[in-house]
Chain A
Amino acid sequence: MSSLIDVENLTLQFKTDEGLITAVDDVSFSLKKGEVMGLVGESGSGKSVTAKALMHLNSRNAVYSPESKITLHLEHQEVDVLSLRKPSELQVVRGGAVSMIFQEPMASFAPAITIGKQMAEQLMLHGSMSKAQARQVSVEMLDRVGISDANKRFDQYAFELSGGMRQRAMIAMALSTKPKLLIADEPTTALDVTIQAQVIDLMKSLVDEFQMGIIFITHDLGVVAQTADKVSVMYLGELIEEGPVREVIRTPAHPYTQGLLSALPKLDDIDAPLTPVPGDIPSPLERPPGCVFHTRCSKTIDNRCSKIRPSQHHLDTGHSVSCHIYPEGDRG
């Protein structure tokens, strides 16, 4: 009950000249109303592709497996996202009930159209407002995210705003249709730390106010620790560990999550040597068989990790992990 979105067995491949590339492999998770989920992974881990699948926004060469299912639970209807085809049907997941904040705010606004026009356009489309109403709502929203002189900013172009302000405008735009689910794809990565701290604060207060679900995609574990209720860690298209934020960060179970945390330079012990995760992330064209992480793992078990894909184990710390070092059937 009260689940907002359910992702089941999501498997997604891209048809390319070099063959089929698996971007997401059998990923399942669900998100409740008002819950913030951090989706963590390095480049190529499939986190952005997963997020885009929720809006059915991946490019035409994307192939979803027949078992993949994404269900969005709204007040009056259940939406089977992957079955949507017509643009009019898709509107509900593209700016209607689901909104997205992108990483690079400069690239996400059209440069030759004013910020205000872009904000008003979607309100007129989704909320069937008049032009004057749309302007009023947009200006209120700009004001709400802390943009001073919002009435003037409404008529400006993206290049006239600073980086932090553009990202605020992006957030205002994403929230003005009052979505039930907000997907934020690396929303603070391009920002300076002081501005990042402001944007994180802003997002937290908006979650409290609007009670929506948020999927926060990032590679920064610090940002996750500050914002999320639960965390999912992805590696090469697979979800390898998930659980409540405290447990995953304090007692990481998967060797990859452990490696990520120890590779992070920490401020409270600046003399500690940095321990990188050995090796490089394999190319998606050469996905390792068995456990996808075994090529870089320090805890591999002979003739298991390289052959058999680990299944999910539930630990008594409340989170689950896919790794062979936890004995089969062990539930704590």
Chain B
Amino acid sequence: MSGDFLIRSDGLSVGFQIGKGLFNKSILKAVDDVSFEIEKGSFFGLVGESGSGKTTLGRALLKAVPITGGHATYDDGDVKYDLAELNGPSLKDYRKRAQLIFQDPYAALSPRMTVRDIIAEPLEVMGLTKSRAETDERVREIAAKCRLNLEHLRRFPHAFSGGQRQRISIARALVSDPKFVVADESVAALDVSIQADVLNLLKELQRDLGLTFMFISHDLSVVAHTCDHVAVMYLGRLVETAPTRKLFEAPKHPYTKALFSAIPSLDPDDRGTAQKLEGEIPSPTNQPSGCKFHTRCPHVTNICKSEEPKLQHVGSAQGHEVACHRWQELFQAT
């Protein structure tokens, strides 16, 4: 592996305390002992069903939720931070370097602010520009990069369509010149004909500005087309991580396989042939023992119920890891 990683996570955990009072306190582990690296300048995909902890993991890396266990480091060459230790001035500086693009462009933009003010707000809050003229110039520069019409900067968000709004959100996230951007379901609320346009824009910006993206999505086909590396989460754990091509050609975890076969095929003659998962993702407050996936896994055996599998390397493939007791006998051939 090349050694140039922007983000390294080592046993990262995020727990939330639920229940009040002295005796019925319990901890909900939303992210549980997760280790991975994000290469500089890459598009890292994070997939999973709702409740898998993917959003919480993204927010932990932005220091938007407290990290309760393990370590995560950020290293862009200029500075190096231990994310769990960030506070005061270092946290302020990190906010500039790591940004978030939200899911719903209708909810993320204040209806009372002009597009110019929305994009300029991070600059003003962080004190990154010295004069109004400088702010305006920076706003115009990033708006043009995000293919926004400069005429539109004086308008309010209600005048824009979903795709245009998402481009405004992207401009706002990128105006402070971040190095690391978490895009949380950023195209999920968009129509198909617009979605492709926003994805292409994100890729273009990544190349031009040298950004590193963590792209959180439930849509595997979108992830397949945009990401270089994909991690699959289930109930707070990473179950498989691999370079995109490897993952899509030969998934090794039964959950990853099931996710693929659940995608409705565009071929009307290919109906109902897929292997379907039974049941639903268990509640994180009441997690199964052993392998978290054993309650829905078609290949479950006794060891799966008692012992939790660790992430292990798959063959010689770089960066392909899977957490399953039986992957070798099940999917070695494929």
A-side residues, CB < 8 A to B, are 42-43, 162-165, 192-198, 200-201, 204, 219-223, 225-226, 245-246, 249, 259-261, 263-267, 270, 272-278, 280-281, 283, 296
Evaluate contact between A222 and B265: CB separation under 8 angstroms: yes
Partner among A164, A197, A273 whose Cβ is within 8 Å of the Cβ of B276? A197
Rounded to whole Å, the gap between the CB of A35 and the closest CB of chain B is: 14
A43 to B258, CA, bound (A): 30
Q: A42-B193, A219-B192 are contacts. A197–B264 as well, Cβ < 8 Å?
A: yes
Rounded to whole Å, the gap between the CB of B200 and the closest CB of chain A is: 6
Evaluate contact between B49 and A192: CB separation under 8 angstroms: yes
A258 to B297, CA, bound (A): 38
A-B contact pairs, 14 of them (CB 8 A): A192-B281, A193-B259, A201-B276, A222-B264, A226-B268, A259-B193, A261-B266, A265-B199, A265-B221, A267-B260, A270-B225, A270-B248, A277-B196, A280-B163
With a cutoff of 8 Å between Cβ atoms, the chain A residues found around residue B261 in the complex are 197
With a cutoff of 8 Å between Cβ atoms, the chain A residues found around residue B262 in the complex are 193-194, 196-197
Evaluate contact between A276 and B193: CB separation under 8 angstroms: yes
Evaluate contact between B224 and A263: CB separation under 8 angstroms: no
| A interface footprint on B110-154 (CB within 8 Å = 1, 0 otherwise) | 000000000000000000000000000000000000000000000
Rounded to whole Å, the gap between the CB of B206 and the closest CB of chain A is: 14
Evaluate contact between A246 and B269: CB separation under 8 angstroms: yes
Evaluate contact between A281 and B191: CB separation under 8 angstroms: yes
Q: A197-B276, A267-B248 are contacts. A222–B196 as well, Cβ < 8 Å?
A: no
Evaluate contact between A264 and B192: CB separation under 8 angstroms: yes
With a cutoff of 8 Å between Cβ atoms, the chain B residues found around residue A266 in the complex are 221, 266
A99 to B273, CA, bound (A): 29
With a cutoff of 8 Å between Cβ atoms, the chain B residues found around residue A222 in the complex are 263-266
Evaluate contact between B266 and A264: CB separation under 8 angstroms: yes
Rounded to whole Å, the gap between the CB of B192 and the closest CB of chain A is: 5
Evaluate contact between B162 and A43: CB separation under 8 angstroms: yes
B78 at the A interface (CB under 8 A): no
Q: Which 8 pairs of residues, A with B, have the shortest CB-CB distance?
A: A222-B264, A277-B193, A276-B197, A276-B196, A274-B196, A42-B191, A192-B49, A265-B221
A114 to B19, CA, bound (A): 25
| A interface footprint on B153-169 (CB within 8 Å = 1, 0 otherwise) | 00000000111100000
B280 at the A interface (CB under 8 A): yes
A270 to B246, CA, bound (A): 12
With a cutoff of 8 Å between Cβ atoms, the chain B residues found around residue A249 in the complex are 266-268
B-side residues, CB < 8 A to A, are 49-50, 161-164, 191-197, 199-200, 218-222, 224-225, 244-245, 248, 258-269, 271-272, 274, 276-278, 280-281
Evaluate contact between B248 and A164: CB separation under 8 angstroms: no
Closest to B267 in A: A225
Closest to B260 in A: A267
Q: A197-B276, A281-B161 are contacts. A260–B225 as well, Cβ < 8 Å?
A: no
Evaluate contact between B244 and A270: CB separation under 8 angstroms: yes
Evaluate contact between B192 and A42: CB separation under 8 angstroms: yes
Closest to A164 in B: B280
Closest to A220 in B: B264
Rounded to whole Å, the gap between the CB of B96 and the closest CB of chain A is: 31
Closest to B261 in A: A197
Given contact pairs A42-B192, A194-B258, a sample of 8 additional A-B residue pairs in the complex whose CB atoms are under 8 Å apart: A164-B280, A193-B262, A221-B192, A223-B264, A225-B266, A270-B245, A278-B197, A280-B163
With a cutoff of 8 Å between Cβ atoms, the chain B residues found around residue A272 in the complex are 225
With a cutoff of 8 Å between Cβ atoms, the chain B residues found around residue A192 in the complex are 49-50, 218, 281
A208 to B47, CA, bound (A): 34
With a cutoff of 8 Å between Cβ atoms, the chain A residues found around residue B268 in the complex are 225-226, 245-246, 249
Rounded to whole Å, the gap between the CB of B299 and the closest CB of chain A is: 16
Evaluate contact between A265 and B225: CB separation under 8 angstroms: yes
Evaluate contact between B162 and A195: CB separation under 8 angstroms: no
With a cutoff of 8 Å between Cβ atoms, the chain A residues found around residue B276 in the complex are 194, 197-198, 201
Q: A162-B280, A270-B245, A274-B199 are contacts. A263–B266 as well, Cβ < 8 Å?
A: no
Evaluate contact between B194 and A165: CB separation under 8 angstroms: no
With a cutoff of 8 Å between Cβ atoms, the chain A residues found around residue B196 in the complex are 263, 265, 274-277
A223 to B219, CA, bound (A): 14
With a cutoff of 8 Å between Cβ atoms, the chain B residues found around residue A226 in the complex are 264-265, 268, 271-272
Partner among B195, B260, B267, B277 whose Cβ is within 8 Å of the Cβ of A263? B195
A280 to B224, CA, bound (A): 25
